[in-house]
Amino acid sequence: MNTDYGEKVYLPDFNSINNTDPATQRDRSTLTRTRLVGAFAKAEINFQEWLIFNLTGRNDWSSTLPVENRSYFYPSAGMTLNFTDIPALKGKFGPLNFGKIRASFAQVGNPAPAYKIRARLVSQTSTGGGFLFDFFGDNPSLKPENVQSIELGTELAFFNDRVTLDFAWYSKSIKDQIVTQRLSYGTGFIFGLLNGGELNTKGIEIQLGLTPVKRSDFRWSINANFTKYDTKVLNLPAEVSEYYDSDTWAYDNVRASAFAPADVLAARFNSPTNLFYDDLNSRGAGSATAIGGWSYLRNSKGDILIDPNTGFPLRNANFLPIGDRNPDFVIGLINEFRLFNQVNISFLLDIRKGGDIFNGNEMFLYRNGLSTRTLDRETPIVFKGVVKDGMEESATPTQNTKEIIPIADETYYTTVIQPEDFVERDINWVRLRDVTISYDLPMRWLGSQKVVKYASVFVNGTDLFLSTNYTGADPYVSTTSPATGGAGGFGMDFGKISLPRTFSAGLSVTF
């Protein structure tokens, strides 16, 4: 790969390195070489098309791993049973005209990125030139990442496909996950690749198809997709409490995080109480989709602890989960109507139940006196909690009665109020994601020509309606783009605007 760099472009619209200040011009060539050798075998047993077994095995050798761990094997197995096609049972299932049961098991091995397991020298552009070590340090014991998945499912069709059902249960585990860990600068390096962290995702997916009306001049079909999943953190690399996506930082260090399980956090922070477990579990401990942020200091009963001198709540010095972005479930519901074999009307409803959202916009406005929640800033208030006076863990802790006036001390807004107050919990929505109306042009309008085979006109609208209990502009937010992949930064609302309502019209032609 060759890259060029130059500053001070002289002529607009002339994209050339020669069009820049010669004193700033630099070029660089990067050559990356890797070798991956694989051996693959597959066997299939097919019994009269109604019982099928598949077995595969693959062994890879990757140049990006240490020699002793360079070879890794991963198998897979699958079974499909089309029980309605069994000759002895055909026609004996009543309204069930098609039935399939499937099961699969698979492992996948993943190597490391290139040039990351041994410290390497890179050219230096500072005065004197020469070479120095790159950012990544050694890890000659790195092992390949292992992904293991299991899926069980069934496909059913009733009444000559008027009712269809596709159900799948799956479990996916990632072991020896290859992650980039920040190292102590005392090592002479900044980053290192580590094996660590084990995640497990379990979920179900259900797809239901219905055709309530099927006539020559009118057809109504429904397709509903139900998804429910949860990703648990079984352990994290290097015994850390949190692993976060640095591209998701919102406001006051709030970020998309993966936290260790509650018992690990409790042991690490010396708080082995049942309430600590329950509170952490409800806020995202052990979840790969947690919200990490600052929270209030509490006693073992869950009461917020109050500074006896100021009447302000105390902040917990530990960075902990304050929410979980993962929804309870999501549903996509498509209705489609076909009239007179020429008019199509379809709309998609996007439904979500549960999941937390950090409203960073509201927190920013609140801290700067711009939120409507600050209109009572001159009204005396008493924080609900118990005084941290040595009695906070007793059977009769001292209840806080100290009045404060928020406007009298600016630290109330800048440092006292914590991000956990701005996590909105159990957010639901119903969104009209898409509406399309199309009309197929009659073939006689196209005449006797043979170039155009089909033509239709359509109008389309997106995000036309939203009903939600979220107080911000739009609950469909993310601090990152879809290119981030995975859980990304969804559920983090800071500096974002709502999805636009769009309309379009067009002509579709097949030649």
pLDDT in tens, 200-209: 999 999 999 9
DSSP 428: -
Question: Dihedral of the CA atoms 153, 158, 161, 166 (nearest 10)?
Answer: -20
CA separation for the pair 479, 485 (Å, rounded) = 12
Locate 115 and state its tokens. Answer: 């040039």
Contacts of 91 (CB under 8 A, 6+ apart): none
Residue 170 banded pLDDT, cuts 50, 70, 90: very high
Nearest to 480 by CA among 244, 179, 252, 259: 244
Under a CB-based contact definition with an 8 Å cutoff, are residues 17 and 27 in contact? yes
Contact 152, 168 (CB under 8 A): yes
Average pLDDT score over residue span 255-269: 87
**Weakest-pLDDT range from 112-126, 143-157, 224-238, 418-432:** 112-126
Q: Could you give the CA distance from residue 268 to residue 274 in angstroms, rounded to a whole number? A: 15
Is the predicted pLDDT of residue 330 greater than 80, yes or no?
yes
- Neighbour order of strands in the sheet with 492-493: 423-424, 357-359, 492-493
**Which H or E element spans position 276?**
helix 274-282
* Range from 129-143, 263-277, 328-342, 470-484 that averages highest in pLDDT: 328-342
Three-state SS at 420 = helix
Query: One-letter amino acid identity for 317?
Result: A
How far is the C-alpha of 84 from the C-alpha of 357, rounded, in Å?
A: 46
Span between the terminal Cα atoms of the chain, in Å: 41
- 380 or 239, which is more confident: 380
Three-class SS of residue 398? coil
Asked if 170 contacts 186 with a C-beta cutoff of 8 angstroms, the reply is no
The candidate with the shortest Cα–Cα distance to 80, out of 155, 140, 135, is: 155
Model confidence over 350-387: pLDDT tens digits? Answer: 999 999 999 999 999 999 999 999 999 999 999 999 99
Read off the pLDDT of residues 46-103 as tens digits, 9 standing for 90 and up: 999 999 999 999 999 999 999 999 999 999 999 999 999 999 998 889 999 999 999 9
pLDDT digits (tens, 9 = 90+) for 7-20: 888 888 787 777 88
Task: Indicate if the alpha-carbon torsion angle 180, 359, 310, 268 is positive or negative.
Answer: negative
Do 284 and 321 form a contact (C-beta atoms < 8 A)?
yes
- Residue 233's pLDDT is 93
pLDDT at residue 294, rounded to an integer: 94
pLDDT of residue 84: 94
Q: In which band, very low, low, confident or very high, does the pLDDT at 283 lie, cut at 50, 70 and 90?
A: confident
Q: What is the mean pLDDT of residues 313-340?
A: 94
- What is the predicted pLDDT for the residue at 134? 83
Cα(306)–Cα(297) distance, rounded to whole angstroms? 9
pLDDT-based confidence at residue 502 (cuts at 50, 70, 90): very high
| Mean pLDDT score across all residues of the chain | 89
Q: What percentage of the chain exceeds 90 in pLDDT?
A: 61
Domain positions in the chain are 1-29, 32-154+175-196
Sorting pLDDT into bands at 50, 70 and 90, what band is 408?
Answer: very high
* CA torsion through residues 370, 375, 377, 378, sign: positive
> Which value, in Å, is the radius of gyration of the alpha carbons in the chain?
30
Distances (CA, A) of 70 to 38, 41, 67, 196: 11, 19, 5, 18
What is the pTM (predicted TM-score) of this model?
Answer: 0.85
Residue 421: strand, helix, or coil: helix
Cα 303 to the center of its chain, rounded Å: 32
Check residue 483 and give its pLDDT. Answer: 53
Q: Where are the beta strands (DSSP E) in 260-416?
A: 290-293, 305-306, 320-324, 329-339, 343-353, 357-359, 386-387
Contact of 158 with 198, CB cutoff 8 Å: no
Q: How confident is the model at residue 322 (pLDDT cuts 50, 70, 90)?
A: very high
Using one digit for the tens of pLDDT, what is the confidence trace for 240-252?
888 888 778 888 9
Q: With contact defined as beta carbons under 8 Å apart, do 258 and 279 qualify? A: no
CA distance 402 to 488: 42
Residue 273 has pLDDT above 80, yes or no: no
Give the per-residue pLDDT at 482: 53
Burial classification of residue 35, based on how many CB atoms lie within 10 Å of its CB (0-12 exposed, 13-18 middle, 19 or more buried): exposed
Phi-psi region of 447 (alpha: psi -120 to 50; beta: other; left: phi over 0): left
Backbone conformation region of residue 442, classed left if phi is above 0, alpha if psi is from -120 to 50, else beta: beta
Name 5's bridge partners: 26
